[in-house]
Structure 1
Amino acid sequence: MIRLETQALLDGFAAAGLAAYVVALLVRRAGGPLTPRLVFLFGVMALFYGVRSLAVRTGWPVFEVATFAVISLAPLAALLLAEGLLRRHAPRSMKIAIFAASAVGLGFALFTTGHVAFGSRITLAGIILLSLISVLILLWTRDRRSLSRAENGAVRRLAIGLAVVIPLIATDFTELVASPIGFSPIAALVIVLLALSNGISDGRDVWIDAVVIVAATLALTCGLIEQLDVAAFDDRARLFALVGAVLITMTLIVRIQPFGAAARRTHLRRSLASADARSLDAFLGDLSEEPMLKDLSIVTGPGLADYHPEQLLETLERRPLWSVAALGAGEGVVDDGAREPLLDLLASADATHVGLLSRSPLRIGLVRLPDLLRNTEAEIDLALAFRMARLTAEKNA
């Protein structure tokens, strides 16, 4: 009973981490051709661990059937991702074999009437493991000269991930491997970490992350074993797996959080690149729906009469964007006489940032950024937008 409950918790953490990654991929609209394949593979895995956890928690037959039906699609999803990474089709015989394996697994799930525990389905274990080994061989025997260095790195990481996952998947089947718990959820979370690091971190950073997570897991597990007086080896192994799953899931969430902001920044940069540069009004009109600029206030002419326009112009020409924080800290060697009019102007509009849009006529833009976007790359992109707006105005003056 303890094994089942612990497995359900492990599966729940894996489902949460995998689902978070899938959502991040979907939110990040600027995905490449591999994105649908990544969504399919990790979506299948998230659904599998989610329904398997629910099957244990609720005991409902529908979740049990769904568990076997979903996992039968995993070899097919892995093959599709491998083909995308290699930019070529797998051998015809391998494709037929894996398609057949998925079909057999799906039929096995839908038409098996007896209640058989997941760990006892040795036929299903053989289908899944042999299919994944075939995909691993396909990745490992690739033509390295046909791929770039970055592509070879991505393929190598997936191959290493599969090499780790395959023996850990075997621990889910008690008839195949005598294990205190099924460790495949941990392996799935590790693969997501590898996928997140692709193109961002080099191999050394990935290994450093792995060592830190393992060391932290060991330290926390040892502390809990002492505090809870856990004596049995199997219970210690289950506790280690749970702590590791928690730490990896937390790491994933921290890594995934910037995806939403990155998608917004990418969208803004795309809009800047395609905006109409024939006039300032047209340029700003094309950016009016951007989240950071949709509340842009433009002050000109009479609205600036009380703020010493000449002094404002001199200060704003020093940099494309000024923030309340920068002005308050006196950055850029701004004296009180130049700082106060800008701070008053920002306060009157309840804005956090100000920039020069054009010299003649004098037009100033005021924007309010949320607290979380200040002092980040969002400010750099906003400054770029103001700089391009000013160049557009000067070009058409």
Structure 2
Amino acid sequence: MDHFNYREGVLHAEDVSIPTIAEQVGTPFYVYSTATLTRHFNVFDQALADLPHLICYAVKANGNLAVLRTLARLGAGMDVVSEGEFRRALAAGVPGDKVVFSGVGKTAAEMRFALANGVRQFNVESAEELEALDAVAREMGVRAPIALRVNPDVDARTHAKIATGKAENKFGVPISAARQVYARAAAMEGIEVVGVDVHIGSQLTDLAPFEAAFRKVAELTEALRADGHDIRRLDLGGGLGIPYRQANEAPPLPFDYGALVRRTVGHLGCEIEVEPGRLIAGNAGLLVASVIYRKQGEGREFLILDAAMNDLIRPAMYDAWHDIAPVIEPAPGAERRPVDVVGPVCETGDTFARDRALPFIGPGELVAFRSAGAYGAAMASEYNSRPLVPEVLVDGDQFAVVRRRPTFEEMLARDTIPSWLA
């Protein structure tokens, strides 16, 4: 469910019409709904209500400070994968003891920053990282709280580029080797073992892979406790999918996910940490663009937009589907014709949809990409020297630009011409 609906024939974000935002901000732009962010967080929170738990929102999905502050005020912790994301969490008002630091390539500088800011835990991905973290912690005279990320070799049945729990993936320690690595950790002066971490991938639309992974984690937890480790937290990662095709996709509900967590690991008495990103932010955002041209090609028609792959790269990178809606509601029974929806970037890959059946949308009209709140603006670039697009947050009948569009002068000013070329 989201809060983007037609009212009197015009698409609205909560109580604000999309054309009103476009008139003041220009296109393309991202717009996020506070009501949707709030609802999705609360639904997930309620799904785990009878278990001790902390929802650590995955900052990588959408790291806008206004989005993070909205979630922080609801009680969210944060899952981060870089010092920059950690700094975003702190700037949004999230204390360090509610920040989990994940990622396979943490540097010594990032470890120092996290420890200095009271990080909740490191999700350690390798024995090599464990050694480096121990050295940094001893140098600082502290102990680093860790959960070892285990790789359960479970097929998440998702896109190959966002699967993270198979043996061939770069993430985590093989679950078969986990007890040996935990034994090494327990002997380290700078390490405090607090839990177990697992994350098998993103955009999962079936609970079976979660169940397989969680049961393996439960067995490991009991074995680690028998080895003398105080395992008191289980970080179960994120990955629960959302409906990108609104008409015919129905991923599992958070309530069903919560029931699975209780059934597989609830008996262990651990605090549960989860790291949803897409589930909270995905359907809370739109990318709004204007049609520049409607071009007739050889045997096909193109809708050329002012948004491009640098603004929303998911279709080019993952062959991802986003529902595309005209901002002005088409008349009932309006004819739909297949068009290729493309951007202006000089790449054939700059294609959002092929042979998409859409009602007639002419030059100057607005279209909205649904389910663009996660991995949209967060993955955007300035390819082709196109400025990053603005981000807008709506709350009821008010809206604010929460990241403005940079000027061309600001973009150029970041480059420096060396003295020998002056």
Query: Which range, TM-score by smaller chain?
Result: under 0.3
- Judging by fraction of residues, say which structure has more helix: 1
Q: Which of 1 and 2 has higher RCO (CA within 8 Å, sep 6+)?
A: 2
Structure of greater Rg: 1
- Judging by fraction of residues, say which structure has more strand: 2
TM-score by length of 2: 0.25
